Chains A and B, each alone.
Chain A
Amino acid sequence: MRLTEPDQESGKSVQIDTVPEAGPSSLAGSANGYNGTASKHNGYATSYTNGTSKTTPGDATRGGRPEKHATSITQVSLPGSTLYDDSYVDREEFVRLVIQSLRDVGYIESAATLEAESGYTMESPEVAEFRRCILDADWVRADAALMRLGVADDERLWEAKFLISQQKYLELLEANKITAALHVLRNELAPMNVDSDSLHALSSLMMCSNPEDLRQRAGWDGASGHSRRRLLGDLQRYIPSSVMIPQRRFATLLDQARAYQQSLCLYHNAPMNSRTFSLYTDHLCDKDAFPRVTTAILEVHTDEVWNLEWSHSGNYLASASKDKTAIIWRVEHDKDPSIRDISPKFILRDHPYPVGCVAWSHDDSILLTAAEHHIKLWNTRTGLCVRSLEVHTDVVTALAWLPDGSGFISGGLDRKIIHWDADGKQRDSWGQSPIRVTDLTVTPDFTRLVAVGMYDAPANVPGPAAAASENGNQSGVGGSSENRVIVYDLVTKQPQSFIPVDGELTSVEVSDDSRYVLINRTPEGGAPCEIHLWDLELDRVARRYTGHKQSRHVIRSCFGGVVGSFVASGSEDATVYIWHRDTGILLEALTGHGAGSVNSVAWNPRNEGMFASCSDDKTIRIWEAPPVDLATASLDAAEHRREAHEADGKGKGKSRERWDGPLAAGTSYGLGSSSSSTLI
């Protein structure tokens, strides 16, 4: 598999610079098509349409090849400077990126050939030298090479030199060459007039006890890590990109194309890999693969189901009900719906009141439940209650585990926000919040806590809600209570900002990137019913979602899908609503639940094609894509089933019968289908 001597000689004649990593490329070259390359040398001279000659390896005449190879590559001269006649793409830029890509993957010979044929070089020998110096830690020559790379002005040059010296300093420290490091600090870094803070930070690294400590504190992954490559990337800013092409530039452009295609893909729910993002075609997800039919109905609760949360493994679903129980359901999310087993693993009783929220610990070993002012910790392996916490003096409305799993935070209508450790020992109380907390969440980046809640209603405004419409439970002083979102700094526990939002806020969910929160609210004074996507960075509403109904109840929403590109919410009209997050377009309005509110929805964290909803109808529904055989079944039949289902009123009993039957799986898929209510 090695290249023979003559090959290397020929290589020299075409290669502009011999890259040290040539090893793998020559292997690849000889393994796949090196002979082919040699055999089409004539083609090179006469035609620039690459890859047309598919001559068999046998055609190559081994003996004469090297000489021919070396001499046969002549530069192709083309008219104009663009890639195509009507193109705006500069040919030189394009070819240089191709050369770079070829080099990156190890097709060194091909890259050299292309350089020879096109007359363009990926980069000058000076750049190659500079790159080599950085990667080999040849700092003296790196400095010299830098001088020849056209850095715009002296100021910039100093900044670039500082970065190099900094790397040098860190590497010396890492190698425990303290004296040499000190020398660099004093004679190279200090004279460069950088701000004293960063210099101070660098000098304090002298105190690190060992290399591991150093890497940790410097946020630097060491000489043998990616730090030199990262340094090259940082230095890129100082060198004109036409001189030194940014690393993996072609891949960056392709990534941008992918991101653009993804932004246009409303039903985007496919994992990112080469199969779903082929370069040959524009990406578009199949709408039929979207979770929009009920594949299971979970009926064990004896009263309204108010809340849901998936375990982090995606294998268990916890539900909270007005029936004073929480249930841990085992859901084999990766199995085919027709053979999947869904059953209650544990029914967690002993709650003195209806259960309002549930929260899984990071390792799924503990489930927290809250019922009125009680918090309970349950061992999820035994189903036993490990602790009961009664520190809150009013309803606990929110339970949120910290991102590092070290503990959790509870919030309640008593205005308390309490920090507990994982065993349920009270660590800290945040003092009285100005709001009665109705929900809270901790950002995954561990920096902020976002709480939503309500202020007390002014008492002297008699409201129309007093009419005994529904057992009077809600007969409230219907005045406009001022509601707020408070963003707390997780470290100082102090409010960072207050966000004014009208209406009663009932849920808050944070996005994976910690930047956005989704807030459900009951509208007030004729305001439209909207879910807000709030941008914590820009402090503004980024998107509003409408179409669902929320007037008086606690309704919750969630992000969903493979990249969190969906927003799903419950609604008081027994329907699940799903929007495209970035555009706000309503994708689905899924019917199927019986009368009452759909109180909460939860997307499976491990299976992007599955979510669950819970309702006043005492059931939980699992939603998935229609099975392939049914998706192709006649629409009429599906529609007919749906009508029949709706005709039996609540529809619940019927659906269960179907589900219990041996053919259940086959016949009832259409139940939750919303073929008529897809709104785009």
Chain B
Amino acid sequence: MGMSYRRYLNGIRIYGCSNCKTHLATIDSMISRAFHGQHGRAYLFDEVVNVIEGEPNDRVMTTGNHTVRDIYCCKCGRTLGWKYDRAYEQSQKYKEGKFILERNLLADVQ
């Protein structure tokens, strides 16, 4: 795979991994705050960096059936949320390719 450095973001507000402060996403790419994860509130982002994606699996959520992958911090390995590969409900299609980060696992970073 080769050696690569983590990406660093630039913006008014940068969200990082609460454990190791790795940059993950900025407020500019946030789509919605109205999501829920295992640890309470969660945010939907258009774009997330420095995460490793797990294997896809199907999950039944309150908004229907989805194919998702868990995402992990590339530095410390903590599970941060998931990524939507596929939404089966037509109304939920907008989530495909987007990311969920759980608010309680995030910290503001520089």
Given the interface contacts A472-B52, A473-B52, does A304 sit within 8 Å of B28 by beta carbon? no
Q: B5 near A473 (CB under 8 angstroms)?
A: no
| Interface status of A552 (Cβ within 8 A of chain B) | yes
Q: A475 near B2 (CB under 8 angstroms)?
A: no
> Which A residues lie within 8 Å of B1 (CB)?
304, 470-471, 473, 553, 596, 616
Q: B9 near A572 (CB under 8 angstroms)?
A: no
| Interface status of B97 (Cβ within 8 A of chain A) | yes
CB of A427 to closest CB in B, whole Å: 26
> Which A residues lie within 8 Å of B6 (CB)?
395, 413
Cα separation A457 to B7 with both chains bound (whole Å): 8
Give the interface segment out of B34-42, B43-51, B60-68, B86-94. Answer: B43-51
Cα separation A542 to B50 with both chains bound (whole Å): 36
Interchain CB contact (< 8 A) of A472 among B11, B14, B25, B51: B51
Q: Across the two chains, which residue of chain B brings its CB closest to A306? A: B3
CB of A268 to closest CB in B, whole Å: 32
Q: B9 near A552 (CB under 8 angstroms)?
A: no
Report B12-48 CB contacts with A as 1/0, cut-off 8 Å: 0010000000000110110000000000000000111
The number of chain B residues with a CB under 8 A from chain A is: 30
> Which B residues lie within 8 Å of A474 (CB)?
4, 7
> Which B residues lie within 8 Å of A476 (CB)?
7, 49
Give the interface segment out of A51-59, A323-331, A460-468. Answer: A460-468
Q: Across the two chains, which residue of chain A brings its CB closest to B69? A: A468
Q: A356 near B8 (CB under 8 angstroms)?
A: no
> Which B residues lie within 8 Å of A438 (CB)?
5
Interchain CB contact (< 8 A) of A477 among B2, B4, B9, B71: B9
Q: A553 near B4 (CB under 8 angstroms)?
A: yes
Q: A554 near B2 (CB under 8 angstroms)?
A: yes
Q: B10 near A304 (CB under 8 angstroms)?
A: no
Considering only residues 438-493 of chain A, those with a C-beta below 8 Å from chain B are 438, 454-460, 462-463, 466, 468, 470-477
Q: A454 near B8 (CB under 8 angstroms)?
A: yes
Q: A477 near B3 (CB under 8 angstroms)?
A: no
| Interface status of A588 (Cβ within 8 A of chain B) | no
Q: Which of B8, B9, B10, B11 is packed against the most chain A CB atoms within 10 Å?
A: B8
Q: A457 near B8 (CB under 8 angstroms)?
A: yes
> Which B residues lie within 8 Å of A455 (CB)?
10
Report A68-107 CB contacts with B as 1/0, cut-off 8 Å: 0000000000000000000000000000000000000000
Given the interface contacts A462-B47, A475-B51, does A616 sit within 8 Å of B2 by beta carbon? yes
CB of A415 to closest CB in B, whole Å: 10
Interchain CB contact (< 8 A) of A459 among B5, B10, B53: B10
> Which A residues lie within 8 Å of B107 (CB)?
none
* A-B CB pair tally, cutoff 8 Å: 98
Q: A554 near B5 (CB under 8 angstroms)?
A: yes
CB of A178 to closest CB in B, whole Å: 62
Cα separation A532 to B11 with both chains bound (whole Å): 31
> Which B residues lie within 8 Å of A463 (CB)?
47
Q: Which of B4, B14, B48, B51 is packed against the most chain A CB atoms within 10 Å?
A: B4
CB of B70 to closest CB in A, whole Å: 11
> Which A residues lie within 8 Å of B14 (CB)?
459
Given the interface contacts A304-B3, A397-B5, A472-B53, does A477 sit within 8 Å of B75 by beta carbon? no
| Interface status of A599 (Cβ within 8 A of chain B) | yes
Cα separation A305 to B14 with both chains bound (whole Å): 32
> Which A residues lie within 8 Å of B26 (CB)?
459-460
Considering only residues 515-573 of chain A, those with a C-beta below 8 Å from chain B are 552-555, 572
Q: Across the two chains, which residue of chain A brings its CB closest to B14? A: A459
| Interface status of B74 (Cβ within 8 A of chain A) | yes
Interchain CB contact (< 8 A) of B11 among A307, A454, A460, A462: A460
Q: Which of A459, A470, A596, A616 is packed against the most chain B CB atoms within 10 Å?
A: A459
Q: B28 near A596 (CB under 8 angstroms)?
A: no
Q: B4 near A475 (CB under 8 angstroms)?
A: no
Cα separation A552 to B97 with both chains bound (whole Å): 22
CB of A441 to closest CB in B, whole Å: 18
Interchain CB contact (< 8 A) of A322 among B3, B11, B46, B53: B3
Interchain CB contact (< 8 A) of B53 among A471, A552, A554: A471
Cα separation A462 to B9 with both chains bound (whole Å): 12
> Which A residues lie within 8 Å of B8 (CB)?
413, 436, 454, 456-457
> Which B residues lie within 8 Å of A470 (CB)?
1
Cα separation A322 to B29 with both chains bound (whole Å): 32
| Interface status of A171 (Cβ within 8 A of chain B) | no
Cα separation A555 to B52 with both chains bound (whole Å): 22
| Interface status of A597 (Cβ within 8 A of chain B) | yes
| Interface status of A372 (Cβ within 8 A of chain B) | yes
> Which A residues lie within 8 Å of B83 (CB)?
468, 472
> Which B residues lie within 8 Å of A372 (CB)?
75
Q: Across the two chains, which residue of chain B brings its CB closest to A460? A: B28
Q: Across the two chains, which residue of chain A brings its CB closest to B97? A: A466
Q: B2 near A552 (CB under 8 angstroms)?
A: yes
Q: B5 near A413 (CB under 8 angstroms)?
A: yes
CB of A39 to closest CB in B, whole Å: 75
Cα separation A438 to B3 with both chains bound (whole Å): 12
CB of A542 to closest CB in B, whole Å: 27
Given the interface contacts A462-B46, A473-B52, does A456 sit within 8 Å of B2 by beta carbon? no
Q: A553 near B50 (CB under 8 angstroms)?
A: no
> Which A residues lie within 8 Å of B29 (CB)?
459-460, 462, 477
Q: Across the two chains, which residue of chain A brings its CB closest to B47? A: A462
Cα separation A553 to B10 with both chains bound (whole Å): 21
Considering only residues 54-107 of chain B, those with a C-beta below 8 Å from chain A are 69, 71, 74-75, 83, 97
> Which B residues lie within 8 Å of A555 (CB)?
2
Q: B47 near A466 (CB under 8 angstroms)?
A: yes
Q: A473 near B74 (CB under 8 angstroms)?
A: yes
Considering only residues 148-177 of chain A, those with a C-beta below 8 Å from chain B are none
> Which B residues lie within 8 Å of A475 (CB)?
48-49, 51, 53
Given the interface contacts A372-B75, A472-B52, does A572 sit within 8 Å of B10 by beta carbon? no
CB of A200 to closest CB in B, whole Å: 50
CB of A80 to closest CB in B, whole Å: 69
> Which B residues lie within 8 Å of A554 (CB)?
2-5
Q: Across the two chains, which residue of chain B brings its CB closest to A456? A: B10
Interchain CB contact (< 8 A) of A572 among B2, B50, B97: B2
Q: Which 9 A-B pairs have the closest CB atoms?
A: A553-B2, A459-B26, A456-B10, A459-B11, A597-B2, A472-B53, A554-B3, A476-B7, A306-B3
Q: What are 6 A-B contacts defined by CB distance under 8 Å?
A: A456-B8, A459-B11, A472-B71, A473-B74, A572-B2, A616-B1
Q: What residues of chain A have their CB less than 8 Å away from a CB belonging to chain B?
A: 304, 306-307, 322, 356, 372, 395, 397, 413, 436, 438, 454-460, 462-463, 466, 468, 470-477, 552-555, 572, 596-597, 599, 616
Supplied contacts A460-B28, A472-B52, A473-B1, 9 more A-B pairs, CB within 8 Å: A322-B3, A372-B75, A438-B5, A457-B7, A457-B8, A458-B10, A460-B11, A474-B7, A475-B51
